[in-house]
Amino acid sequence: MKGAIVSSILISGAAAFPFVVDVSGVDSSMIQAERRRIRRQQPADGAGSAANCPFNANHVPAAPVTSQYPYNNAKNGVIGNQKGGYQVPAPGDTAHQFVAPNPDTDIRGPCPGLNVAANHNFLAHDGITTYTELVDAQQNIYNVGYDLANLLALLGLTLTDGDLVTEKLSIGCDATTRTSVNPVLTGAEPGLDGHNKFEADTSLTRNDYFTHGGDNFKFNGTLFGMMTETTGGNYNLPNLALYRYQRYQQSVNENPNFYFGPLSLLLFGAASFLYELMPSGTRGYAPDEYTISSFFGAEKNADGTYSFNNAEKIPDNWTNRVEPYTNELVGAEIIKMYLLNPVLFGGNTAAGSFDALQGWGGLIANGTIPSAVDPKVTSCLLYQILTERVPSYLNGVLTPTVEALSLIASKLSNTDFSNLGCPAPLSK
The whole-angstrom separation of Cα 277 and Cα 318 is 11
Q: In the 8-state DSSP scheme, what is residue 199?
A: B
Q: Does 222 participate in binding ligand NAG (rule CB under 6 A)? A: yes
Interface with ligand HEM, residue 252, by CB under 6 A? no
Report which of 41, 7, 3 is spatially closest to residue 22, judged by C-alpha positions: 41
Does residue 339 bind ligand NAG (CB under 6 A)?
no
* Partner touching 80 among ligand HEM, ligand NAG, none, CB below 5 to 8 Å by kind: none
DSSP 8-state assignment for residue 162: B
CB of 218 to ligand HEM, least distance (A): 10
Binding string, residues 306-335; x marks residues near ligand NAG by CB under 6 A: ----------xx------------------
Q: Are strands 364-365 and 359-360 parallel, antiparallel or unpaired?
A: antiparallel
Reading phi first (left if > 0) and then psi (alpha if -120 to 50, else beta), residue 107 is in: beta
C-alpha dihedral sign at 83, 167, 118, 241: negative
Interface positions, 270-289, toward ligand HEM (CB under 6 A) = 270, 273-274, 277-278
CB 272 within 8 A of CB 292: no
Task: Count residues binding ligand NAG (CB under 6 A).
Answer: 10
Binding mask 359-398 for ligand NAG (x = CB under 6 A): ------xx--------------------------------
d(CA 106, CA 102): 5
Contact between 385 and 265 (Cβ < 8 Å)? yes
| 152 contacts ligand HEM (rule: CB under 6 A) | yes
Cα 376 from Cα 102, distance rounded (Å): 44
Find which of ligand HEM, ligand NAG, none residue 317 binds, CB within 5 to 8 Å per kind.
ligand NAG
> Residue 121 and residue 131: Cα distance in Å, rounded?
15
**How many helices (H) and strands (E) are present in the chain, helices listed first?**
15, 11
- Chain positions 42 to 81 lying near ligand HEM, rule: CB under 6 A, are none
- Give 23 or 155: the residue with its C-beta nearer to ligand HEM: 155
Residues 265 and 199 sit within 8 Å (Cβ to Cβ): no
How far apart are the C-alpha atoms of 63 and 286, rounded to whole Å?
29
- For ligand HEM, give the closer residue by CB, 170 or 379: 170
- Which 87-116 residues touch ligand HEM, going by CB under 6 A? 110-114
The answer to whether residue 207 forms part of the interface with ligand NAG (CB under 6 A) is yes
Q: Binding to ligand HEM (CB under 6 A): which residues in 122-151? A: 134, 138, 142, 144
Binder of residue 410, out of ligand HEM, ligand NAG, none (CB less than 5 to 8 A by kind): none
Looking at 220-228, 334-342, 372-380, 391-399, which segment touches ligand NAG (CB under 6 A)? Answer: 220-228
Phi/psi at 350 (nearest 5 deg)? Answer: -170, 170
In the Cβ-directed half-sphere of 403, how many Cα atoms lie within 13 Å?
17
Amino acid at 379: S
Between 28 and 291, CB nearer to ligand HEM: 291
| Min separation Cβ 123 and ligand HEM, Å | 9
Q: Where on the chain is the footprint of ligand NAG (CB under 6 A)?
A: 207, 212, 215, 220, 222-223, 316-317, 365-366
Q: Where on the chain is the footprint of ligand HEM (CB under 6 A)?
A: 110-114, 134, 138, 142, 144, 152-153, 155-156, 192, 198-200, 203-206, 267, 270, 273-274, 277-278
